[in-house]
Amino acid sequence: MQPLLQPFAVVFQVFAFIFGAIVGSFLNVVIYRLPLGLSVNEPRRSFCPHCKTQIPWHQNIPLFSWLLLRGKCARCKAPISFRYFAVELLTGLLFLWVWNRALGTGEYALALPLWIFLALLISATFIDFDHFIIPDEITLGGTAAGLLLSAIFPGLMGETVFWKALLWSAAGAASGYLILWGVVEAGKLAFGKKKHLYSPAADFKWTRQGEDAEFVVGEEKILWSEIFSRETDQLILETDTAEVDGAPLPPEEAGTLRFFYNRLVLPGRELLLDTLSTISGKVRAVIIPREAMGFGDVKFIACIGAFLGWKAVLFTIGAASAIGAVAGISLMLLGQRNASGRIPFGPYLALGAVLWIAAGPELITWYTGLWRME
């Protein structure tokens, strides 16, 4: 620790925690509003997600307000999720941890860019848990921020010259993007389709809902937009009977229905889904498109690489894969097989990045030492 800072160590630590909790309060706004397309600035005050009442400042004090109000809205008494408190506490603790680490290494100037990076990780994690997406504002915006902050704080890349740090940051972003992009494309080739069989034939129905649609097969229901990730993705139905807006399709057309996101392709003609209301019938098999992971994860690892460099990218992907495998196996052993398939990969990447900051190089040295001992 710097001699001049040592007498004020506790003061700076308290400040780091409080500042982190305040940032966490703002991150709660980001986590709630950003995926819904709402402005994070308007309205300026937070509001109850149930009654929409804006919360006055004295009821919006990080950590304390949630505890004093016992996790309920002061007006409508609806429960306020514990996650709001957890995000504030987690952010405060992580900011304190980064501050202590920066002082311990003598690189206290790096606390600011790492705080920004952690804020991005926390936002991405909780949005991905809720919506299975990571918005471009976080991934692409975070990548740009990582490049800029690496130039301003070259120590992020272990350099002293800004242009060298900028090059390493760009290399980290590019390597991360290319590696996971390759994984996505390889996964699409190997596991890009999944076939579900129904015996006897099950009822299916496609119903337009505004700009989206609802697709139901038997007891299963899904939004149309959640099925397709690419323009080339196809959903194929092998049917016994089919009707389009109540009109039965002839046998030569009803055997196989080939859907793209915006159209139904039949032998000799195409029907634009925007012009239709319902498609229904009996289905024997459904072939659905699927991805190894979302492109949000690809852009997210580019953001991580821009802040931490290419070595951190390799470590983060490896650590995230290992943690994900352990979590998936654990859930299956606990009888939660379906839950293991619903956990997004973004939170694992975020945890891998935090592990790199905490002890990544040391863990790599330890691991390679085990191989040399053998």
185 and 314, same domain (yes or no): yes
Identify which has the larger pLDDT, 338 or 104. Answer: 104
308 and 184, same domain (yes or no): yes
Q: Which long-range contacts (CB under 8 A, 24 or more apart) does 89-92 make?
A: 89/21, 89/24, 89/63, 90/24, 90/122, 91/20, 91/21, 91/23, 91/24, 91/27, 91/118, 91/119, 91/122, 92/17, 92/18, 92/19, 92/20, 92/21, 92/24, 92/62, 92/63
5 and 99, same domain (yes or no): yes
Asked whether residue 102 is assigned to any structural domain, the reply reads yes
pLDDT of amino acid 59: 75
Q: Is 83 exposed, middle or buried (0-12, 13-18, 19+ CB in 10 A)?
A: middle
Q: In which band, very low, low, confident or very high, does the pLDDT at 341 lie, cut at 50, 70 and 90?
A: low
C-alpha to C-alpha distance for 115 and 26, rounded to whole angstroms: 13
Task: Mean pLDDT check: name the lowest of 56-60, 106-110, 306-310, 346-350.
Answer: 56-60
Task: Mean pLDDT check: name the lowest of 37-51, 149-163, 231-245.
Answer: 37-51
Establish whether the linkage from the previous residue to 248 is cis, with ω within 30° of 0.
no
The pairing of beta strand 220-223 with beta strand 256-260? unpaired
Q: In which band, very low, low, confident or very high, does the pLDDT at 4 lie, cut at 50, 70 and 90?
A: low
Identify which has the larger pLDDT, 371 or 82. Answer: 82
H/E element, 103:
helix 82-105
pLDDT of amino acid 75: 78
Q: What is the dihedral of CA 7, 12, 14, 18, to 10 degrees?
A: 170
Share of residues in the chain with pLDDT > 70 (%): 95
Domain holding 210, by residue range, is 193-289
Residue 20 has pLDDT above 80, yes or no: yes
186 and 201, same domain (yes or no): no
- φ/ψ of 235, rounded to 5, equals -110, 120
102 and 17, same domain (yes or no): yes
90 and 40, same domain (yes or no): yes
The pairing of beta strand 263-266 with beta strand 256-260? antiparallel
C-alpha to C-alpha distance for 103 and 205, rounded to whole angstroms: 61
- φ/ψ of 247, rounded to 5, equals -100, 120
Shortest CA distance to 30 belongs to which of 94, 68, 87?
87
pLDDT of amino acid 373: 58
Helix axes 111-131, 82-105, angle to 10 degrees: 150
245 and 323, same domain (yes or no): no
Residue 1 has pLDDT above 60, yes or no: no
C-alpha to C-alpha distance for 364 and 126, rounded to whole angstroms: 28
> Quick check: 265 and 273 in contact, CB under 8 A?
no
Q: Rounded mean pLDDT of 122-133?
A: 94
Strand, coil or helix: 208: strand
Q: Rounded mean pLDDT of 165-183?
A: 96
Asked whether residue 256 is assigned to any structural domain, the reply reads yes
Cα dihedral sign for 142, 147, 152, 153?
A: positive
Last residue of a domain, one of 81, 106, 131: 106
Average confidence score pLDDT of the chain: 89
Q: In which band, very low, low, confident or very high, does the pLDDT at 272 lie, cut at 50, 70 and 90?
A: very high
pTM for the whole thing? 0.85
pLDDT of amino acid 333: 82
Asked whether residue 331 is assigned to any structural domain, the reply reads yes
C-alpha to C-alpha distance for 333 and 69, rounded to whole angstroms: 38
Last residue of a domain, one of 259, 289, 319: 289
pLDDT of amino acid 328: 82
Q: Rounded mean pLDDT of 73-78?
A: 81
Last residue of a domain, one of 267, 289, 311: 289
Q: Rounded mean pLDDT of 257-261?
A: 95
Q: Rounded mean pLDDT of 175-182?
A: 95
Q: Rounded mean pLDDT of 270-287?
A: 95
311 and 188, same domain (yes or no): yes
58 and 93, same domain (yes or no): yes
Asked whether residue 294 is assigned to any structural domain, the reply reads no
Q: Rounded mean pLDDT of 200-217?
A: 94
24 and 98, same domain (yes or no): yes
Asked whether residue 295 is assigned to any structural domain, the reply reads no
C-alpha to C-alpha distance for 346 and 296, rounded to whole angstroms: 8
C-alpha to C-alpha distance for 24 and 84, rounded to whole angstroms: 8
C-alpha to C-alpha distance for 266 and 144, rounded to whole angstroms: 45
Q: Give the residue ranges of DSSP H helices in 132-274.
A: 136-152, 162-191, 251-254
Q: In which band, very low, low, confident or very high, does the pLDDT at 337 lie, cut at 50, 70 and 90?
A: low
Asked whether residue 305 is assigned to any structural domain, the reply reads yes
Asked whether residue 91 is assigned to any structural domain, the reply reads yes
pLDDT of amino acid 5: 57
User: In this structure, what token pair is assigned to residue 208?
Assistant: 């337009």
Q: How many domains does the chain have?
A: 3
Residue 372 has pLDDT above 70, yes or no: no
222-239 pLDDT, tens digit each:
999 889 988 889 999 999
Q: In which band, very low, low, confident or very high, does the pLDDT at 362 lie, cut at 50, 70 and 90?
A: confident
Identify which has the larger pLDDT, 50 or 196. Answer: 196
19 and 118, same domain (yes or no): no
pLDDT of amino acid 83: 93
CA distances (Å), 371 to each of 316, 318, 323, 367, 368, in order? 20, 17, 21, 7, 5
Radius of gyration of the chain (CA): 25
Identify which has the larger pLDDT, 359 or 353. Answer: 353
185 and 201, same domain (yes or no): no
pLDDT of amino acid 189: 82
Asked whether residue 269 is assigned to any structural domain, the reply reads yes
